[in-house]
Homo-oligomer: A and B are copies of this chain.
Amino acid sequence: MYTFAEENYIKAIFKIAEREQNSVGTNAIAKVMSTSAASVSDMLRKLSDKGLIHYEKYKGVTLTHDGSRLATQLIRKHRLWEVFLVDKLKFRWDQVHDIAEELEHINSDELIRRLDVFLGSPKFDPHGDPIPNAQGKFTLRNQVTLTDLQLEQQGVLVGVKEHTTPFLEYLNELKIGLGTHMKIIKINAFDESITIIINQSQKHNISKKTAANLQVKVVK
Contacts and interface: CB of A to CB of B under 8 A. Distances in A.
A103 B103 CA distance: 7
Nearest to A4: B4
Contact of A108 (B99, B106, B111, B115): B99
A98 B90 CA distance: 26
Nearest to A108: B99
Interface string A77-90: 00000000100111
List the number of copies, as a whole number.
Answer: 2
A41 to B, nearest CB: 25
Contacts of A107: 102
A126 B128 CA distance: 35
11 contacts: A88-B118, A89-B111, A89-B118, A98-B108, A99-B106, A99-B108, A99-B111, A102-B106, A102-B108, A103-B106, A106-B106
Interface of A: 85, 88-91, 95, 98-99, 102-103, 106-108, 110-111, 114-115, 118
